[in-house]
Amino acid sequence: MTTDKIYRQSAEDSPFRFNDEVAKVFPDMLRRSIPGYGATVEAIGSLAARYVKAGTRCYDLGCSLGAATLAMRQGIAVPDCRIVAMDNAPAMVERCRTVIAEDDRQFAPATPVEVLQGDIRDLEFENASMTVLNYTLQFLPMADRDALMRSICAGLNDGGLLLLSEKVVDENAEMEQLLVDLHHEHKRRNDYSALEISRKRAALEDVLIPETVAAHRSRLKRAGFSQTAVWLRYFNFVSIIAIR
């Protein structure tokens, strides 16, 4: 795994982009930056084993290098399924295709994966039993989030599952400050310097727009999901399951 050193030297203050430099170090970046990321990927496998139905599709939206896709593929216990993985960053898609091809070669898994380059806002969802938005919705303009969620819900079969993970913001300013501090302390323990942490924070400003847990849950309800639950929370990182 290549170590993420992007903000060690970077003097420029350009906004964060999912480019080749980021794609190269991405597994290390997520592992050291998102508390609970590994637990989330593991749960995606367990949920796939429970929720994916024979003859249906699964979607991994903002798939990056395909970590959630691989977890779903390993978890699926029924025949005739297909996973559609999409990302709009060419550097991510290129590497993701290599990762999936290597998995195909080594394990010859039963479930095919199609890796598409494109915007998830343009994707048409159908006959889905499981959809994953693992830390992706937060990068979409606020105005587009409701429509995407409605179309994801409409494309799920009854009883189908959405897993939504997001960085969130707390309603209470004091609690929010504490959670941000704890997250930064976590990053310090994972060998990011204070300068790297503050540079990355500035680069993500206006790129990653977090919402409250309540806002996410009410959007899910508006979109047509019948039940939602927060199954994981680690500082200001949350993972929610929603059933259509």
Nearer to ligand GEK, 40 or 228 (CB): 40
Q: How far is the CB of 134 from ligand GEK (least distance, A)?
A: 4
CB of 62 to ligand GEK, least distance (A): 3
237-243 and 156-167 beta bridge pairing = antiparallel
Q: Judged by CB, which is closer to ligand GEK: 34, or 81? A: 34
Least distance to ligand GEK, CB of residue 79, Å: 25
CB 220, min distance to ligand GEK, A: 18
Tell me the closest approach of the beta carbon of residue 176 to ligand GEK, in angstroms: 19
CA distance 208 to 135: 10
Query: Which CB, 139 or 234, lies closer to ligand GEK?
Result: 139
Comparison of 53 and 121: residue with beta carbon closer to ligand GEK:
121
- Asked if 121 and 147 touch (Cβ cutoff 8 Å), the reply is yes
CB-based contacts of 38: which residues, under 8 Å, 6+ apart?
31
Smallest distance, Å, CB 82 to ligand GEK?
18
Measured from the CB atom, the residue of 89 and 153 that comes closer to ligand GEK is: 89
Ordered DSSP codes for 107-142: H--SS-EEEEES-GGGPPP-SEEEEEEES-GGGS-H
> Closer to ligand GEK at the Cβ: 89 or 113?
89
Written in H, E and C, the secondary structure of 44-101 is HHHHHHHHCCCCCEEEEECCCCCHHHHHHHHHCCCCCCEEEEEECCHHHHHHHHHHHH
Please name the amino acid found at residue 29. Answer: M
Closer to ligand GEK by Cβ: residue 54 or 207: 207
CB of 43 to ligand GEK, least distance (A): 11
Q: Minimal CB distance to ligand GEK: which residue?
A: 62
CA separation for the pair 58, 130 (Å, rounded): 5
Residues that bind ligand GEK (CB under 6 A): 18, 30, 62-64, 67-68, 86-89, 92, 119-121, 134-136, 139-140
Alpha-carbon gap, residue 50 to 182, rounded angstroms:
34
26 in Cβ contact with 65 (< 8 Å): yes
